[in-house]
Amino acid sequence: MSKLIPFARRSASAAPDPAAGTSRMSSSEKFISIEGIARRYPAPGGKPNTVFENLWLPMRRGEFVCMIGHSGCGKTTVLNILAGLEAPSEGVVIVDGQAIEGTSLDRAVIFQGHALLPWRTVLGNVAYAVSSRWRKASRAEVEERARKAIATVGLAGSEHKRPSELSGGMKQRVGIARALAIEPKILLMDEPFSALDALTRGTLQDEVRRICIETGQTVFMITHDVDESIYLADRIVLMTNGPEAKVAEIVENPLPKRRERANLHHAPGYYALRNHLMDFLVSRSKSLRDAMPAGYDQRHPPVVRPGSDGPEPIPVPAAS
Ligand SMILES: Nc1ncnc2c1ncn2[C@@H]1O[C@H](COP(=O)(O)OP(=O)(O)OP(=O)(O)O)[C@@H](O)[C@H]1O
Ligand SMILES: [Mg+2]
């Protein structure tokens, strides 16, 4: 078992100190390990367009990680590589001890657009995914699993509706049910709530959060919404602006895992965290692209914990 040590106390406004702020994850802790990946596209003139290179990111089992960065910095590219939809130009992604090759039902993707089959009912869409996962399951077993997933996202009673009969929020719920029904090892979400109205977005965030905590799901999610990341994430990965984007920092969320949306803003560290994320998006994402601090190591990006001057520091596993 990992020894627990209190994390370093840092002020939110302090610039991260790359040397002092790194927290290395031991090999046994790494469930997902992005190891030195690059993505380059050919460009006119011969010099390729490098979206990012030498990008490293480990994730623990059961962790909820959000990635934030400006448009074009390569977030979707990272997610597509994790999903196996794209191959990196260099580097490798290890999941549960194995280098990934292509797509797998172990890694479910929820896109911004729900991508449902329009001719199938809600039950039909979810059952289709379930039967792809468990090819030998009986029809009754498939239906039972599908119905359970549909009920989990609050759509019991709508099993026989087609996508055209559903609201945007309901369609997105079906997409979530379909992803959860195949019991993936990893859930990958690319701005899954961004097209929804604020009320529906909040409700779905609550449901996803509840489900992920109950099932211990490992999640990698891209968002542009700072508040969404504070509510959902255990760690928030901050990307500098592209091209040649870098993981500028990994921000540990100091708020308790069991957090309530209604009183989030009263939690110690909330404003320090929010201000830190906003400052990054407003200015540091650009200034860091132009010049990373001395000692910056792409393999071990700085880990910061805004607001950790608060009364109850949360223990983290010891560095390896
Ligand atoms: N097929 C392609 N050919 C050339 N360049 C591409 C291709 N696909 C993506 N890119 C480039 O890769 C970069 C990263 O794209 P990506 O979609 O990963 O960004 P993103 O961070 O997800 O942006 P957004 O927040 O707008 O979704 C962009 O500059 C984009 O132009
Ligand atoms: Mg994107």
Residue 168's pLDDT is 87
pLDDT at 312 over 70: no
Q: How far apart are alpha carbons 269 and 277 in whole angstroms?
A: 12
Confidence tier at 165 by pLDDT (50, 70, 90): very high
List the residue whose alpha carbon is closest to atom 24 of ligand 1.
71
pLDDT at 198 over 90: no
Residue 65's pLDDT is 98
Residue 190's pLDDT is 94
CB atoms within 10 A of CB 94: 16
Nearby residues of 18 by Cβ (< 8 Å), 6 or more positions away:
293, 294, 295, 296, 297, 301, 302
Sheet with 64-68, strands from edge to edge, namely: 107-110, 186-190, 218-222, 64-68, 235-239, 247-252, 303-304
Residue 50's pLDDT is 96
* Domains of the chain, residue spans: 4-106+184-317
Q: Which pTM value belongs to this model?
A: 0.88
Which ligand has its closest atom nearest to the C-alpha of 51? 1
pLDDT at 153 over 90: no
Architecture of domain 4-106+184-317: 3-Layer(aba) Sandwich (3.40)
pLDDT at 315 over 70: no
Pair 221, 273: CB distance under 8 Å: no
Q: How far apart are alpha carbons 34 and 300 in whole angstroms?
A: 12
Residue 308's pLDDT is 66
Q: How far apart are alpha carbons 168 and 113 in whole angstroms?
A: 9
Residue 195's pLDDT is 80
CB of 73 within 6 A of ligand 1: the answer is: yes
Residue 240's pLDDT is 96
pLDDT at 108 over 80: yes
Residue 1's pLDDT is 32
* C-alpha 232 – ligand 1 centre gap (Å): 25
pLDDT digits (tens, 9 = 90+) for 216-235: 899 999 999 999 999 999 99
Percent of the chain's residues with pLDDT above 70: 89
Confidence tier at 296 by pLDDT (50, 70, 90): very high
pLDDT at 53 over 70: yes
Calculate mean pLDDT across residues 230-255. Answer: 96
CB of 186 within 6 A of ligand 1: the answer is: no
3-state secondary structure the chain: CCCEEECCCCCCCCCCCHHHHCCCCCHHHEEEEEEEEEEEECCCCCCCEEEEEEEEEEEECCCEEEEECCCCCCHHHHHHHHHCCCCCCEEEEEECCEECCCCCCCEEEECCCCCCCCCCCHHHHHHHHHHHHCCCCCHHHHHHHHHHHHHHCCCCCCCCCCHHHCCHHHHHHHHHHHHHHCCCCEEEEECCCCCCCHHHHHHHHHHHHHHHHHHCCEEEEECCCHHHHHHHCCEEEEECCCCCECEEEEEECCCCCCCCCCCHHHCCCHHHHHHHHHHHHHHHHHHHHHCCCCCCCCCCCCEECCCCCCCCCCEEECCC
Tell me the average pLDDT of the chain. Answer: 87
Lowest model confidence (mean pLDDT) among 30-39, 55-64, 177-186, 307-316: 307-316
Residue 87 — φ and ψ, nearest 5°?
-100, 140
Nearby residues of 235 by Cβ (< 8 Å), 6 or more positions away:
63, 64, 65, 66, 250, 251, 252, 253
Calculate mean pLDDT across residues 305-319. Answer: 52
pLDDT at 194 over 90: no
Residue 197's pLDDT is 84
Ligand 1 atom, smallest distance to 222 CA: 22
Confidence tier at 11 by pLDDT (50, 70, 90): very low
CB of 131 within 6 A of ligand 1: the answer is: no
pLDDT digits (tens, 9 = 90+) for 259-288: 889 889 999 899 999 999 999 999 999 999
CB of 80 within 6 A of ligand 1: the answer is: no
CB of 51 within 6 A of ligand 1: the answer is: yes
Confidence tier at 314 by pLDDT (50, 70, 90): very low
* Mutation choice for ligand 1 from 40, 49, 89, CB with most ligand atoms inside 8 A: 49
Lowest model confidence (mean pLDDT) among 2-16, 52-66, 80-94, 134-148: 2-16
Lowest model confidence (mean pLDDT) among 6-15, 146-155, 173-182, 290-299: 6-15
Confidence tier at 70 by pLDDT (50, 70, 90): very high
pLDDT at 97 over 50: yes
Nearby residues of 136 by Cβ (< 8 Å), 6 or more positions away:
none
Q: List own/partner pairs for 283-286 with CB under 8 A and 24 or more apart.
A: 284/248, 285/69, 285/70, 285/73, 285/238, 285/239, 285/240, 285/241, 285/248, 286/240, 286/241
* C-alpha 71 – ligand 2 centre gap (Å): 7
Ligand 1 atom, smallest distance to 41 CA: 4
